Amino acid sequence: MAHTYLGFAANPKQSLFLQAIVLRFFLSLLANAASVSTTLSSPGGHADIEQSLAQPTTQRDLGSGNGIVASFRQSSRKTRMAILGVALLLAIALRFAFGSLKMAHTDREIENAAHRHSLEGAEARIEELEIKNAANIAALNEAQAKIKELESDLAAAQAKIKKLEPDLAADQAKIKELESDLAAAQALGRAAEEELTRLNAELAKERAKEKKAEEESNKLREDLEKLTKENRARQVITDIQTNKLEKLTKENRARQAENEGLREKLEKLTKENRARQAENEGLREESYAINQTPLTR
């Protein structure tokens, strides 16, 4: 019965209709019980009741609204009193049950309203999440397209690197060859520098000899002048000295010529050394340029 009431409780009109039917049933039972109690308390009431109970219950009474009352009258006194007590207790219990069920229905309506509110919030949140999800899907698609593009670029770059690997190997071989040439040129440069140092030392020696010869020539000139001033009679000796001076002068000139040859040779070696240094610088710059050249062309 409680389940039936809960089914009706979903509709307020049906709930009120059910309560009216149940209350009418128990009110009719209470009215009949009060009528029986009044008859029993009056003089001769027991005889009237026994006479009434002695009358058979007709089909009309059973089919009419008094069928329940007729059945009630046909039962024994203890049974009727027990039925009345149970009916009274049942009426009180149903009243409390109706009240508690109504309160439960109110609580359920409040809970349903809260659920509807939370459901609306959840739907709004779902819509927001769907919008964000759509944006994330669009961003993901864009990222996947970008990844595919980058993968294509990577494949192209790898193909280009594979294509440039032979050129890179050739460049590395050329770099090694140039490094070998540079080492050889540096060795030649060092040898030229050593030769230049040696020639500078020889030139310094020749200059010292030339200076010494000049000093000797100056000394002889001074001696000649002194001899000329002192004695013109010593012309023969002077001539001899003059011849000696001329000879020394020739030797000095020969030495000067030799010094000039050495100087020219030194200048030539200096020019060759500078040319080799320039060549070394060119090789060094070329090697540096090759080392700095990027792989892609």
Note down the domain range covering 273. 170-292
Does residue 138 form part of some domain?
Answer: no
Nearest in space to 257 (alpha carbons), one of 249, 246, 267: 249
CA Rg value for the chain? 71
C-alpha 170/C-alpha 165 separation (Å) is 9
Does residue 164 form part of some domain?
Answer: no
**Within this chain, do residues 184 and 285 fall inside the same structural domain, yes or no?**
yes
* Model confidence pLDDT, tens digit, residues 145-169: 888 888 888 888 888 888 887 877 8
* Model confidence pLDDT, tens digit, residues 235-285: 666 677 778 878 888 888 888 888 888 888 888 888 888 888 888 888 888
pTM of the prediction? 0.25
**Within this chain, do residues 35 and 108 fall inside the same structural domain, yes or no?**
yes
pLDDT band at 21 (very low <50, low <70, confident <90, very high): low
Final residue in a domain of this structure, among 86, 120, 154: 120
Burial class (CB in 10 A: 0-12, 13-18, 19+), 61: middle
Residue 234: what pLDDT?
A: 60
Does residue 219 form part of some domain?
Answer: yes
Does residue 160 form part of some domain?
Answer: no
Final residue in a domain of this structure, among 120, 149, 180: 120
Does residue 151 form part of some domain?
Answer: no
Residue 123: what pLDDT?
A: 82
Say if CB 63 and CB 69 are below 8 A apart: no
Residue scoring higher pLDDT (139 or 51): 139
Final residue in a domain of this structure, among 83, 105, 120: 120
Domains contained in the chain, number = 2
Does residue 140 form part of some domain?
Answer: no
Does residue 279 form part of some domain?
Answer: yes
Cα–chain center distance at 31: 86
Cα–chain center distance at 89: 75
The yes-or-no verdict on residue 62 having pLDDT over 50 is: no
